[in-house]
A and B are shown apart, each in its own frame.
Chain A
Amino acid sequence: MSTATSTPPAAPGSIATARKNAEAREKGLRRRRRRPLMPALIFLVVVTQIPFVVTIGMSFLNWNILYPKDTGFGGLSNYATVLSDPRMRAAMWNTVVMVTSSVFLSLFIGTGLALLLNRKFFGRGIVRTLLITPFLIMPMASSLMWKHLIYNPDYGMFNGILAWLGQTFGFVAPQPVWVSVAPMTAIVVTLVWTWTPFMMLITLAGLQSQDSDITEAATVDGAGAWQQFRFLTLPHLRQYLELATVLGIIYLLNTYDQVFAITQGGPGSATTNLPYEIYLTAFRKYDYGEAAAAGVVIVIISVIVANFGMRMVSSLVSIETGKKR
């Protein structure tokens, strides 16, 4: 600043100096704008990015700490194992079944509940509080609750209700062992119970952002409730439903607690999903290379889903902030 003004204006090259100074100032400004971001960024890179790079590196190594002599570069052999191993393949398929069915069902039920909550009725706040509570219970605690208090064949709530019905209406009530008869369903039911509030909250936010003038106008014009829902509410909700779906998939791909607590992946590998199988490979089989390769596979799946997710979150953020101004 001072150099630009102190040089006589007629001197040759002064324009160049002024421009250089302006550039320097601009650069300083940019640095100042960026500086507050740096601690967080460095922390994120170190804690979340470097591990993934290490995972990729490890996935090319033969590295089982039970067989230290065989440690070395293995090329793509871990990927060959992951993609051909029946347990890993089962885990991939189970992950797909678990995530898609849980996301679809919880979104469906959650949307229904959000529509109910979007109306005025007595005690709406209490109903909302009751409905979100399943999501707040520690997942480990709720998994154990489902395993021992609900599915338990001897004193569980389900068989208790069946037995009570049997006593009341005079028939021999079946007392199935839910976790072995329908292990995947047992996990999915637990997941749906946990995640429905999440879907409900996002959909409810979408419903409440709908302009009431439009629906009022539609009512005045004689549109029925179904027509309003089909042609006004649903199109408005679409991006919220998409966001809920993508986030649901991302979060549920991480499902671990429920599998760990309720079925331990069994019977056999009937409910083993990728996170649980990776955990077993790393901390029970001690095959670090194979676990890393499976980790890379699940990252690739997530990246594909996240690609959609990024766009959705960004567009919603810009819409929401755009509305404010």
Chain B
Amino acid sequence: MNTETVTQAKPVRRKPRRKPGEGGPLGVLAWVLALCAFAPIAFLVLTSFHAEVDAATSPPNLLAPLTLDQYRLVFSRNITPYMLNSLMAAGFSTLLVVVLAVPAAYATAVKPIGSVRGVLGWVLSTKFLPMIAALLPVYLVFQWLGLLDNILALVIFYTGMNLPVAIWMMHSFMAEIPKDVLAAAEVDGASLPLILRKIVLPLASPGIAATGLICFIFAWNEFLFALNLTATKASTSPVYLVSFITSEGLFIAQLSAAALVVSIPVILVGWVAQDKLVQGLSLGAVK
């Protein structure tokens, strides 16, 4: 809101078109380094389109004929249920995170009273505890509840894992909502659900979307708890990859295809949300 008016006030500056070679040697250096960092992924993509025999040559045969066989094989080896489990665990936990974090962030960002501010610090501190220390008790509790190998266990745990990040991110977004609007609504006697639905949600929706994407990425990629809380029915994509760790024989091309298939959703989401990525990773501290 505020920023919009500011940018409108500024004279419109046309972005100059950049030409190849602009930026000088440092621009070239940036390109070279980026290509070096990306080389392993490029190699992964290329290998995934090769036949196993061509993938197992030294030095690697980069010009080998391309094929879709590995992808066919990966899907015939039942990757789909794992992907669906990942989608459910990540999707439902993200929804639950948003439902819990929106009102919480509203309480901390809009006219917070003293104790609420303290709560915000405590929320952050929970993120600083290493997850491994919670693994055993969480495992035992879910065992006791009969929720092992159940998506619900992952949904509950991922929600707890992402909630602090989400509250902090949304807090920084909601702090930008003009106070007068909210104050007016409160004076008019609007109830909290009404305020959240009619004012906060529309204004903070880009922030909520960004937060959701970050939480989705974290949950989708999580491996430690997915490995230990599931067995067969509820296993997620990273667990599918475990079978490749000590595989014997020719499997490199198939592994490449599987690694790409499970990574693609998050890579796409991350590319789209790259401006918000840093904010989520720094728990809202950096914009």
Contacts and interface: CB of A to CB of B under 8 A. Distances in A.
Given A36-B106, A37-B104, A134-B37, A51 B121 contact: no
A14 B247 CA distance: 83
Interface string B206-233: 0000000000010011011000100000
Contact of B271 (A129, A298, A316): A129
Interface range, B side: 35 or more
Contact of B286 (A129, A240, A264, A324): A240
A149 B278 contact: no
B20 interface: yes
Contact of A314 (B40, B121, B277): B121
Nearest to A33: B113
A116 to B, nearest CB: 4
Given A121-B26, A132-B270, A299-B133, A257 B59 contact: no
Contacts of A291: 136
B164 interface: yes
Contact of B128 (A33, A127, A142, A310): A310
A212 to B, nearest CB: 14
B84 interface: no
A148 B251 CA distance: 9
A271 interface: no
Nearest to A200: B278
A236 to B, nearest CB: 13
Contacts of B91: none
Interface string A98-123: 00000000000000010011011111
Contacts of A132: 270-271, 274, 277
A36 to B, nearest CB: 3
B57 to A, nearest CB: 6
A12 to B, nearest CB: 33
B159 A47 contact: yes
Interface string B49-90: 000000111111000000000000000000000000000000
B223 A140 contact: yes
A137 B267 contact: yes
Interface residues of A, number: 112
B182 interface: no
A121 B252 contact: no
A193 B33 contact: no
B256 A122 contact: no
B21 interface: yes
B129 A52 contact: yes
Given A43-B159, A150-B40, A154-B58, A127 B220 contact: no
Interface string A239-254: 0100100010010011
Contact of B35 (A130, A145, A282, A306): A130
A122 B43 contact: no
Interface in B157-172: 157, 159-161, 163-164, 167-168, 172
B83 to A, nearest CB: 12
A6 B167 CA distance: 44
B126 A44 contact: yes
Nearest to A152: B252
B265 to A, nearest CB: 9
A298 B128 CA distance: 11
A136 to B, nearest CB: 4
A257 to B, nearest CB: 5
Contact of A55 (B125, B137, B267): B137
A115 B123 CA distance: 33
The 3 A-B residue pairs whose C-beta atoms are closest, nearest first, are A121-B23, A121-B27, A47-B160
Interface of A: 30, 32-37, 39-41, 43-44, 46-52, 54-55, 58, 113, 116-117, 119-124, 126-142, 144-150, 152, 154-155, 157, 159-161, 163-164, 167, 175, 193, 196, 198, 201-202, 204-206, 240, 243, 247, 250, 253-254, 256-257, 260-261, 264, 274-275, 278-279, 282-283, 288, 291-292, 295-296, 298-299, 302-303, 305-306, 309-310, 312-314, 316-317, 320-321, 324
Given A32-B192, A141-B241, A317-B172, 20 more contacts: A33-B107, A37-B108, A43-B159, A48-B129, A122-B23, A127-B30, A130-B37, A138-B220, A140-B242, A145-B259, A146-B40, A149-B252, A154-B58, A155-B252, A163-B59, A205-B282, A257-B224, A292-B137, A306-B128, A316-B282
11 contacts: A30-B113, A130-B38, A135-B277, A139-B238, A140-B238, A148-B244, A157-B60, A160-B60, A257-B224, A260-B245, A291-B136
